[in-house]
Structure 1
Amino acid sequence: MFSNNDFPLSPVPLDQRKGFVSMTSVLLGFTFFTATMWAGGKLGSSFSFYELIGLIFIGNLLLGGYAASLGYIAYRTGLNTVLLSRYCFGNQGSKLVDLILGFTQIGWYAWGTATIAIVLVELLNLPQSLTLPLMLLFGFAFCLTALIGYRGLEFLSKISVPAMLFFIGLSLFQGAIDIGGIEALISQTPEQSLSYSAAITLVFGTFVSGATQATNWSRFSKSGKIAITSTLLAFFIGNGLMIFVGAFGVLVYQEADMVDVLVSQGFMLIAVLMLFSNIWTTQDNTIYNFAAAGCHLLRTKQRSRVILAGASIGTLLAVFGMYEFLIPFLILLGTFIPPIGAIIITDFWLKRRHDTLSFEDVTFSKINYAGLIAYSMGSGAAYLSEWVAPIIGILVAAISYGLLDLLLKKQVQIEA
């Protein structure tokens, strides 16, 4: 039943590739994320309706373009982000990517495990003593579909995504009635203040770590068109919908989370179903991402063992309350993750787009200093930037890598 493979250390063969519906379902299941709604809630209280729509459009267009670029490269090569990182960071240098991406995913897994237990206890008025047992239960239950592999994620997403779209549509319809129509919604005035650059950073940065690792699924695409369109649907449309839902909830009910909104509307059963659908489809994708990074770090094909180890660590972090301290740090890491994707994109288009040598036949350098230096420069620029930090990080990393790679090549030629 459980798959030990899913090609953690090799390209996805052509006969294992998936179609549009499969790819879109899995990716939408990943992007339907509670934390994104909270980001939308922040925007909803800070901007007028038309400003809000414009910011959602711009922020998610940037995010979708970034994710789709990586998605196309994943399709062309059959490789995910951590495998692609060997080209531009080196065989040993790529382990830095494994650690950064793996840590963020296990942190979010701890957050999701704790969140569903805490919310469920509050929602159903259960005894507080059940919180820890529920964390243990969900911590391991969530990883079951990931243990099965891509097929498990696909099966769950094909059920959960249409259900969530129905729940969201029902809630938006009821909310429009409760507020007195679309005109009343548009006439809402912002109560807080937030700069445009901070808003775009919030939209782009909240899920950019997920966008960087969406290659774990887009590498299964049958065609470049499927890779690009399914990724855009997930990260431009899907993530944008989550931002809007959070903003809508705050404007109408002063609640960003769809689960809380559904409870306010009197849809208790649907709220519980939404909670499970939303958290589970993100959690199994998150632990799947952790397994990709962990298998690459350890150079092992024992994906199931890595998943179980990750679920154990994430559950322990949830049980001991450490997830509360992780979230600000994980959000900060959103600043340091986009340069990784930028360097991979730059490396492919500058050096690999016509490459016919198979991944197994490539002799990788131990450390690619151009990649590591460019990553440091991009991350530093993003951290110090007062503008849209992730975008600055992407631009600086991409330009730095292109120039450094050229300079180091010239240096080798001069020495030769």
Structure 2
Amino acid sequence: MDHVPRSERRDLLSISAVLLGFVFFAGTMWSGAEVGAAIGMQRTLSVMAVGYAILGVYVAVLCLIAARAGLTTVLLARYTFGSAGAKWADLLLGGTQVGWFGVTIPMVAVPTASYFGVNTPTWVAALTVVWGVLHLSSAYVGYDGMEKLSFVAVPVLVIVGLVSTYIAAGDVGGVSALLHVAGDSGTAMTFGAAVTVVVGTFVSGGTQAPNWARFAENSRVAFWAGLIAFLLGNGFLFLSGAVGGAVYAGTGGDLYEVLAAQGLATVGLIALILNIWTTNDNSAYAFGVAGSEAFDHERKRPFVLAGGFVGIVLALLGASSLLVPWLNVLGTYVPPLGGVVIADFLVRWRLRVPRMADVSFAVLRPVPVAAYVLGCLGAVLTAGSVIPGVTAPSVLPGIPALNGILVAIVAHVLGYYALERPGLATTHDVASNASYTHES
């Protein structure tokens, strides 16, 4: 894998469509329903304003760097952590996406079986395999396959979401009545905890947005595509979930259940299929990218198939029950990696990215590695225990994912100026006649 050439770069519409397809995920709606039911609609809007500002800017900056370099997240990690240090990024990003693939397939297989009245273990298992293979198909084709699917799915999902929200507002007595829906006084959720839910739903996925943003025709396109998808797109879906969960008790904001309650069960199934498919093919593409980098292989497709096979097996073994613990792990250990990458490309490379062929990569850069570890520690101390079944007090206030990012950035900046820049710590050697990636 190498820098994306100018001949393969895409415009804002293309990049935005693929990223929107990625973030249009049913789990975001469930998260919205959880927050809306706990704190009410008015406070939910305030939480969203804070949470999506954090998430949108974080991802947009990563997308900008990716377009500038023309590289995936795992290749950016090679610049930041070194040739061996980047293998951890490969394992973390690839492995978590394989798990994500397995966790999410049943989210469409079970409703499909229920819709057709064949909700038995055998049929659910068969549909799990069918949907898993279909999700792999567009990822196997590559960017073009995901782009074509997203151009169909994203407009459909936006229209369905708007119609559903309009019906829900009517059922509850209008927009004014909707805004005055109160939260559950028996459910304890602080403002900070609610913001954590907002950021946590897609901060780990956003760290892998460079896999697609690298195709942007310039860094401005990448930045705005990231902002559109992770601020507006993800926010729209979160709000839809909050509305559905507030108006239709018992649905939990589930896309299919809400639309079924509105008399639109068939539309709900179609929307859910597109919703999960456009997220899961991006996950499959992500673990294909990570696998090809980890094993220094030119092609992603063998790793798309291998990771997909493992994901389908995990789905058949009941991995969907691990969704919440999986989100906690992702939200703790992935965001600090993105924070270190952002800091490194701002202070070490100053957005002038030398081509890979002109860099003698160090095996390990200790300063970024230490910054990543400290970032993870900051996230863990904020969240308390991230091990299911084990409780521990939270030591630091704030949002785990955000604290992890900020601690990683500060630690890397301090370490760079104190150790790397004076030559006291190992870094890469760049050829004196190196050529740099640039924008046309």
Q: TM-score, normalised by structure 2?
A: 0.90
* Number of positions where the alignment pairs a residue of Structure 1 with one of Structure 2: 407
Does the 8 A contact of 1:30 with 1:281 survive in 2? Answer: yes
Instruction: Show the counterpart of 2:38.
Output: 46
Within the candidate set 363, 367, 370, 2:367 is matched to 370
One-letter amino acid of the counterpart of residue 264, structure 2: F
Within the candidate set 398, 405, 408, 2:419 is matched to 408
One-letter amino acid of the counterpart of residue 166, structure 1: I
Q: CA deviation at 1:11?
A: 0.9
Could you tell me how far apart the structure 2 residues matched to 1:127 and 1:346 are? 49
Could you tell me how far apart the structure 2 residues matched to 1:308 and 1:44 are? 38
One-letter amino acid of the counterpart of residue 334, structure 1: G
One-letter amino acid of the counterpart of residue 213, structure 1: Q
Instruction: Show the counterpart of 2:8.
Output: 16
Gaps of 5+ in 1: 1-8
Could you tell me how far apart the structure 1 residues matched to 2:353 and 2:245 are? 52
Q: How does 1:35-74 map to 2 (within 5 A)?
A: 35-74=27-66
Within the candidate set 114, 122, 139, 2:132 is matched to 139
> Equivalent residue of 2:242, what SS?
helix
1:198 aligns with 2:193: yes
Q: CA deviation at 1:327?
A: 4.3
Label 1:38 to 1:354 Cα distance change in 2 as closer, same or farther (>3 A): closer
Does the 8 A contact of 1:205 with 1:334 survive in 2? Answer: yes
Label 1:354 to 1:253 Cα distance change in 2 as closer, same or farther (>3 A): closer
Q: How does 1:300-379 map to 2 (within 5 A)?
A: 300-325=297-322, 327-353=324-350, 355=352, 357-379=354-376
Q: CA deviation at 1:354?
A: 5.1
Deviation per residue, 1:366-406 (Å, 9 max, x gap): 01111111111110011111421111111111111111222
1:171 aligns with 2:168: no
Instruction: Show the counterpart of 2:435.
Output: none
Q: How does 1:188-267 map to 2 (within 5 A)?
A: 188-191=181-184, 192-254=187-249, 255=251, 256-267=253-264
Could you tell me how far apart the structure 1 residues matched to 2:260 and 2:116 are? 11
Deviation per residue, 1:313-357 (Å, 9 max, x gap): 000001111342364134322111111111111011102125363
Within the candidate set 139, 148, 159, 1:155 is matched to 148
Does the 8 A contact of 2:99 with 2:311 survive in 1? Answer: yes
Q: CA deviation at 1:234?
A: 0.3
Q: CA deviation at 1:49?
A: 2.3
**Higher deviation after alignment, 44-53 or 244-253:** 44-53
Q: Which runs of 4+ in 1 moved over 3 A?
A: 410-415
Does the 8 A contact of 1:59 with 1:201 survive in 2? Answer: yes
Instruction: Specify which structure has the higher proportion of helix.
Output: 1
Label 1:395 to 1:413 Cα distance change in 2 as closer, same or farther (>3 A): closer
Label 1:410 to 1:240 Cα distance change in 2 as closer, same or farther (>3 A): closer
One-letter amino acid of the counterpart of residue 10, structure 1: D
Does the 8 A contact of 2:129 with 2:312 survive in 1? Answer: yes
> Equivalent residue of 1:94, what SS?
helix
Does the 8 A contact of 2:41 with 2:242 survive in 1? Answer: no
1:87 aligns with 2:72: no
> Equivalent residue of 1:126, what SS?
coil
One-letter amino acid of the counterpart of residue 101, structure 2: Y
Deviation per residue, 1:120-178 (Å, 9 max, x gap): 11233214121111111111111111111100000000001001111111111111111
Instruction: Show the counterpart of 1:4.
Output: none
Does the 8 A contact of 2:40 with 2:182 survive in 1? Answer: yes
Could you tell me how far apart the structure 1 residues matched to 2:240 and 2:257 are? 12
One-letter amino acid of the counterpart of residue 46, structure 1: A
Structure with larger RCO (C-alpha < 8 A, sep 6+): 1
Q: CA deviation at 1:102?
A: 1.1
Within the candidate set 75, 78, 83, 2:67 is matched to 75
Deviation per residue, 1:43-78 (Å, 9 max, x gap): 101223221111111101110000000000001100
Could you tell me how far apart the structure 1 residues matched to 2:4 and 2:82 are? 21
Could you tell me how far apart the structure 2 residues matched to 1:303 and 1:354 are? 27
Label 1:356 to 1:201 Cα distance change in 2 as closer, same or farther (>3 A): closer
Could you tell me how far apart the structure 1 residues matched to 2:274 and 2:341 are? 32
One-letter amino acid of the counterpart of residue 3, structure 2: P
Q: TM-score, normalised by structure 1?
A: 0.95
Could you tell me how far apart the structure 2 residues matched to 1:350 and 1:241 are? 34
Percent identity over paired residues: 36
Deviation per residue, 1:218-243 (Å, 9 max, x gap): 11001222111111010000111111
Label 1:183 to 1:195 Cα distance change in 2 as closer, same or farther (>3 A): same
